[in-house]
Amino acid sequence: MKKTKLYIEPTFEFELLGLVSPVKDYKMAWLINRELDIDLVKSDDLQIEFLSSPRLEISQYLLSLPHGFIQLLKNKALNTSQQLAYLIPELRNLDYFLLVQDQTQQTSISIFVDQLAKNPFIQSVVRLDISKIKSKENLLTY
């Protein structure tokens, strides 16, 4: 009997910002809510299981939009064996990721960058090219 394999190519239809800040995740969500006048809400921790390493629990905050979402993900976390692990290991210098997907194009990522860069608690805001990230599949959470 002939076997058929199904290959699925995921699509990354969101904009991605990388944030550097020493503040805790709840304070970062509060700062973003205040700066961007949005309402990110704490969701259940994202649990990612890898084949070669222990499960990773990532703190996340989410705002559902009529045709998309805004999501704040923490990059650093402790895995199940209590070791420091990263959501995106090749971007260890970033503390948080802000994913923005809006099919209506009503949110402007450049305005987000400008507003967040003004905050003294946020040391750096970087717009990232998703196609250049090696472990980008870890960002497919929604």
Reported as a single tens digit per residue, the pLDDT across 96-135 is 999 888 877 777 788 888 999 999 999 999 998 888 888 8
Alpha-carbon gap, residue 61 to 42, rounded angstroms: 4
For the entire predicted model, the pTM comes to 0.82
- For the chain, domain boundaries: 15-139
For residue 67, pLDDT over 90 is answered with: no
Neighbours of 3 (CB within 10 A): 4
Contacts of residue 124, defined as CB under 8 A and 6 or more positions apart, other chains included, come to 18, 19, 20
